[in-house]
Structure 1
């Protein structure tokens, strides 16, 4: 990726903490997913056709319970629910890019963060939620980890809705990359 200026590989991650929970300004609120309280919601959203088409994780409830517990116990990814005026509207996974498969397609720095974003309710799509959320979310991630200089997204190139929202939310397309489960558009917002 010639558009990314730093070619250093993310060699030593032992001192890099897991991804931070962003503290968002009102009317937004972010909290880590609670597998007991939120499992039904996450399971339903991941099974929704508009989400399942690109996430390909319309898994049984038990597998989602295991996935959420695994994420919460590790340092790779943090599952997060974002609410707007107390109503959950977005499921996120905040992840350390250098610990992810995406590190194989761009020169990830140890503190780079990545995002997976899903608007669970079809009725809530195309309302500008993601476009409005991304600037405050990335600012909150930069504030939570002062050593983070980039946040990346890697939507499926066929997901025009996501690419449009991410671009409008301040992310610049870098180029197409081949990941194990998709052809993605690597998108970056720098500090």
Structure 2
């Protein structure tokens, strides 16, 4: 069983995150192949706000992914579905190319959703909006207990609203 750890990202993580986000399997979907400096600014900006918190995730002690957990009520996603006031959203990018395609995505997604639901008692659901064409991501969310709740036409993509509730 893989053990996961989540820690807040800081500006010192910007070189690693910039490298991860420049990987073709991430850049295609995230469109954030930014410079180290731009990532340091993004991390500081997120950490200072109420909308989203950036994290680095480790599996068995090895950091391998970038995660953003966000309050849907502060996100543009709130314009696209009847959100609950305490809904949380999640974005995940597995940056370590050696870890891609091994089922780690579904494991970390299930773990993250479980952690949010455990630590946020008023939250009834965790949501995500992967690009409908990002089949590996959609499959990972489904395998982690997220259920499709229809398509969303966002400005930059057609997304699937994926929802994980406490009942799973």
Q: TM-score range by the shorter chain?
A: over 0.9
Q: 2:42 is matched with which residue: 67, 83, 104?
A: 67
TM-score (norm 1): 0.84
RMSD of aligned Cα (Å): 1.3
Would you say how many aligned residue pairs link Structure 1 and Structure 2? Answer: 166
| Equivalent position of 1:27 in the other structure | 3
| Equivalent position of 1:139 in the other structure | 114
Distance 1:161 1:128 in 2: 10
SS in 2 for 1:177: strand
| Equivalent position of 2:160 in the other structure | 185
Distance 1:141 1:111 in 2: 11
Mind listing any 5+ residue stretches in structure 1 that lack a counterpart? 1-24
CA apart distance, 1:95: 0.3
Distance 2:82 2:114 in 1: 22
Query: RCO (CA 8 Å, sep 6+): is it higher in 1 or 2?
Result: 1
Alignment of 1:54-133 (within 5 A): 54-133=29-108
1:67-105 deviation line (CA, Å, top 9, x unaligned) = 100000011000011101110112110000111111111
Asked if 1 retains the 8 angstrom alpha-carbon contact of 2:65 and 2:95, the reply is: yes
Tell me which structure has the larger Cα radius of gyration. Answer: 1
Distance 1:156 1:26 in 2: 27
| Equivalent position of 2:134 in the other structure | 159
Distance 1:52 1:134 in 2: 20
Asked if 1 retains the 8 angstrom alpha-carbon contact of 2:53 and 2:69, the reply is: yes
CA apart distance, 1:136: 2.0
TM-score (norm 2): 0.95
